[in-house]
Amino acid sequence: MITNLKPGERLDDLQIKGYKIIQNPGQFCFGMDAVLLSGFAEVKEEEKVLDLGTGTGVLPLLLEAKGKGSSFQGLEIQEDSVDMARRSVAYNRLSDRITIVRGDIKEASQLFGHVSFDVITTNPPYMINDHGLKNPAGAKAIARHEILCSLDDIVRESAGILKEKGRFYMVHRPFRMVDIFEKMSFYGIE
Task: Give mean pLDDT in consecutive 10-residue pieces for the chain, a chain of 190 residues.
Answer: 84 97 92 94 97 97 95 96 97 98 96 96 69 53 57 90 95 74 83
Residue 131: its pLDDT value, please? 53
Contact 151, 141 (CB under 8 A): no
Residue 167: its pLDDT value, please? 96
Residue 142: its pLDDT value, please? 47
Residue 147: its pLDDT value, please? 56
Residue 28: its pLDDT value, please? 84
What lies within 8 Å, CB to CB, of 74 at 6+ separation is: 50, 51, 54, 57, 59, 60, 85, 98, 99, 100, 101
Residue 4: its pLDDT value, please? 83
| Helix 58-65 / helix 79-91 crossing angle, nearest 10 deg | 30
What lies within 8 Å, CB to CB, of 165 at 6+ separation is: none
- Closest Cα partner for 153 from 33, 48, 52? 52
- Closest Cα partner for 58 from 36, 77, 85? 85
What does DSSP say about strands 10-13 and 71-76: parallel, antiparallel, or unpaired?
A: unpaired
Q: DSSP character for 17?
A: T
Residue 152: its pLDDT value, please? 86
185 Rama class: left (phi>0) / alpha (psi -120 to 50) / beta: alpha
